[in-house]
Structure 1
Amino acid sequence: MSKKLTAADAAPASFEEAMAELAQLVTQMEAGQLPLEASVAAYQRGSGLVKYCAAQLDSVEAQVKVLEGDMLKPFSDAGEAAQ
């Protein structure tokens, strides 16, 4: 028996979309107005979104490492640049 994917189960279109949906879920859950079933579903969706965002960030970090020759360099502060 296969589980049908709903729109809420679908992967987000972008990192920004995932973060926005995650923020909305957190707001709804913090309000305490969701019934138990909806709270569990929101938690599951939020967990999936966190994993998606973490994977996106790991991917970008790997790309930066390639661009920087596998050596991440710290960004300089604006104050340091002015000196």
Structure 2
Amino acid sequence: MAKKLIAESAAAPESFEQAMAELAQLVTQMEAGQLPLEASVAAYARGSELVRYCAAQLEKVESQVKVLEGDMLKPFAADGAGEGMQ
């Protein structure tokens, strides 16, 4: 069953959230220690692909934020914002 799950999910993820969910599922399966060696290697390879996909998506979003912020990220609590919220 684990081989089947990994083989079915080999396509590119539809979204960052889907990739994260699949990655979490793979980690759970691997941590359970019940996958045969071949399935563990396939799960590791798929997990690596998903991590690269997620990192690329995060880089895209970061560059979009930089453009929106005038190419300069600003701190969240500027000019006393958030004071009194202790």
Common topology (TM > 0.5): yes
TM-score by length of structure 1 reads: 0.84
**2: CA distance between counterparts of 1:64 and 1:7?**
34
Give the structure 2 partner of residue 50 of structure 1.
51
TM-score by length of structure 2 reads: 0.82
**CA apart distance, 1:25:** 0.3
Q: Aligned ranges for residues 1-83 of structure 1 at < 5 Å? A: 7-76=8-77, 80-83=81-84
After superposition, the CA RMSD in angstroms is 1.8
**1: CA distance between counterparts of 2:60 and 2:25?**
24
**CA apart distance, 1:29:** 0.2
**1: CA distance between counterparts of 2:39 and 2:12?**
19
- Aligned residues between the structures: 77
Equivalent pairs: percent with the same residue?
Answer: 76
Which sections of structure 1, spanning at least 5 residues, go unmatched?
1-5
**2: CA distance between counterparts of 1:11 and 1:72?**
30
**CA apart distance, 1:72:** 0.4
Matched residue SS, 1:12:
coil
**CA apart distance, 1:27:** 0.4
**CA apart distance, 1:75:** 1.5
Match for 2:45: what amino acid? Q
**CA apart distance, 1:58:** 0.1
**CA apart distance, 1:76:** 2.1
**CA apart distance, 1:81:** 1.6
Which sections of structure 2, spanning at least 5 residues, go unmatched?
1-6
